[in-house]
Amino acid sequence: MDDALVRNHPELCSCHFCFPGHPQLLLPLCASVSLLGGLTFGYELAVVSGALLPLQLDFGLSCLEQELLVGSLLLGALLASLVGGTFIDQYGRKQAILGSNLVLLAGSLSLGLAGSLAWLVLGRLVAGFAISLSSMACCIYVSELVGPRQRGVLVSLYEAGITLGILLSYALNYALAGAPGGWRHMFGWAAAPALLQSLSLFCLPAGTTKAAANKDLIPLQGGEATKLGLGRPRYSLLDLFRARDNMRGRTVVGLGLVIFQQLTGQPNVLCYASTIFHSVGFRGGSSAVLASVGLGTVKVVATLAAMGLVDRAGRRALLLAGCALMALSVSGIGLVSFAAPMDSGPSCLAMPNATRLSGLPGDPSLPRGSTPLPLPTTSENQGKPVLSTSKKIKLHPRAGNPTAPPLQMALSTASPASHPAPERALLHWTALVCMMVFVSAFSFGFGPVTWLVLSEIYPMEIRGRAFAFCNSFNWACNLLVSLSFLDLIGTIGLSWTFLLYGLTAVLSLGFIYSFVPETKGLSLAEIDQQFQRRRFALSFGHRQSSAGIPYTRIEVSAAT
């Protein structure tokens, strides 16, 4: 955005900070909106891990009640993904974010002042609705407000904010663990980044208009103006499944990315982080701390790397490289577990509350799989649910003695093999390296890029509803994968489960290579135009040729 653009489009200026003398503040403000939105999302996801233990003591929660409390966030998020798209398209992206922040404030108050389980569940439900709505609106809002050279970095910044929010929740959970009523403060602090984000939003425009969105396209044929210009009819949700403007092809791309993102089993694989850390010699509480903070740090570094590469290497390059590394690393964990089986810890039902770690970020039900759990937790790099289960495990016949006491039950596919100590140590360290690679690969591939691509490929008129539609499949698949995890282990064993996730990553690699286009360096209007004309060349990491496309580009300043 330059001075001429601001003068010609005064609708892009909504307060005294954004006037022709200071257009350079647009990018920092957009960055703060994206980062603080992700920070709120990540904090709200992970804060329950530290609050759960004191809540057990104050309310005497059973395992089922703990699951209800943790899973209510998922339900609220799923509801938002079903209805939030219409709100985003009808009232605007900025209003949707501000509204979600108000809803989050109400949810935080309900949680902080709760005196019963019902109020806790209600607060989590409301908070889940708010962060899901905000996550969709933030990605769309930022992608529409900035130019193609900054879009990848700023939208990916949301994913970095999520990971930072998770690490921040770990720190506050640890600091407040011993304080009287500390869990109330844990939940209440979620409103702080949301309030800061609202202040940034007041200094930004409501959004880009259709004229501004298409400012760099000039149709050269009069007959094309209606089809590619400003006179397009409105879209309905059913248009997502029709051939009109290649909407069906866009929906295949969007749904394929969110479904494969979940079917690779990322959150479920990470729930064995504590077991792997324990197997290489980190015992007790140190295993929990390293699995959460260590893997969280790896995720932050990988996401920052993705931010630097997404507008250089391209979306396809990061997705393909990430999926390839995920397939190799998760298969490596499966093969290692064949040779040196890793027993998981007991389930919620098998483990008394008194034996759980106190004040450490390794409590059950920690979201996004970033901390050690024997139970599945769920994610969500841009919109990413939490659910734990306490189902009793139906062991595979080869997994051990089904009549053994609960504390002796293992999820491995075979009884521990007799390997020399140095060989076993090498295998366990190999599993640890594979886990780190898996976390990194997801964090610079599927994690940030999925939501960036979703914010780019749909027309402006239906972008909010389309994003929400795909996001609903993300949450639903996350729930399905989480609920089936223990049954899958009981049926085929832990090692084969990891290998199955590796096969899914290979299939996702083929899908991305065949269907996901490269959108780096293109404006949203250009992406829309090329989708309509089906001119996307699926060349690896290279910008598509624009030969034969009836438009010309207008050079603008570096700010856009």
Pairwise CA distance, residues 142 & 158, whole Å: 10
**Between these two residues, 523 and 223, which has the higher pLDDT value?**
523
Do 130 and 249 belong together in one domain?
no
Among 16-25, 123-132, 407-416, 502-511, where is mean pLDDT lowest?
A: 407-416
pLDDT digits (tens, 9 = 90+) for 39-50: 999 999 888 878
162 with 71, same domain: the answer is yes
Give the rounded percent of residues in the chain with a pLDDT score beyond 70: 68
State whether 191 and 259 are in the same domain. no
In a domain, 134, yes or no: yes
* pLDDT tens readout for residues 326-380: 999 999 988 988 887 665 443 444 443 333 333 333 343 333 333 333 333 333 4
Alpha-carbon distance 125 to 131, whole Å? 10
pLDDT at 324: 96
Rounded average pLDDT over 33-60:
88
* 436-488 tens-digit pLDDT: 899 899 998 998 999 999 989 999 888 989 999 999 998 888 878 877 777 78
CATH of the domain at 63: 1.20.1250.20
Indicate the burial class of 514 (C-beta count within 10 angstroms; 0-12, 13-18, 19 or more): exposed
Q: Do 61 and 162 have their domain in common?
A: yes
Residues 220-252 pLDDT 10s: 334 333 444 445 557 888 888 888 888 899 999
Q: Does residue 376 fall inside a structural domain?
A: no
pLDDT for position 365? 38
Q: Indicate the residue among 162, 188, 206 that finishes a domain.
A: 206
What is the per-residue pLDDT for 396? 41
Contacts of residue 113, Cβ cutoff 8 Å, sequence gap at least 6: 119, 184
Report the number of secondary-structure helices (H) and strands (E) in the chain. 21, 0
- Residue 173 confidence (pLDDT): 82
Considering the domain architecture, whether residues 266 and 198 belong to the same structural domain is answered as no
Q: Are residues 117 and 201 in the same domain?
A: yes
Say if 17 falls within a structural domain: no
More confident residue, 382 or 432: 432
Residues 33 and 181 placed together within one structural domain of the fold: yes
Give percent above pLDDT 90 in the chain: 28
Q: Average pLDDT of 248-273? A: 86
Identify whether 560 is part of a domain. Answer: no
What pLDDT sits at residue 428?
Answer: 78
- 93 domain-assigned: yes
Q: Which of 45-54, 148-157, 181-190, 279-288 has the lowest mean pLDDT?
A: 279-288
Clarify whether residues 186 and 267 are in a common domain.
no
**Overall domain count for the chain:** 2
Q: Is residue 530 part of a domain?
A: yes
Q: What was the pLDDT predicted at 284? A: 63
Domain membership flag for residue 393: no
Phi, psi of 196 (to 5 degrees): -65, -40
Structure confidence at residue 10 as a pLDDT band (50, 70, 90): very low
Model-level pTM? 0.72
- Band (pLDDT 50/70/90 cuts) for residue 290 is low
Give me the sign of the Cα torsion angle 387, 391, 394, 395. Answer: positive
Q: Same structural domain for residues 308 and 267?
A: yes
- Residue 451's nearest CA partner among 112, 152, 129, 116 is 152
Please check whether residue 182 lies inside any domain of the structure: yes
Does residue 136 share a domain with residue 266? no
pLDDT at 528: 87
Q: State the pLDDT at residue 126.
A: 95
Do 433 and 289 share a structural domain? yes
Look up residue 545 and give its two tokens. 């040729």
Which structural domain range is residue 436 located in?
237-342+423-535
Please tell me which residue, 7 or 534, carries the higher pLDDT value.
534
Average confidence score pLDDT of the chain: 75
Residues 48 and 137 in one domain: yes
Question: Which of 214, 139, 85 lies closest to 454, judged by CA?
Answer: 139
pLDDT at 219: 42
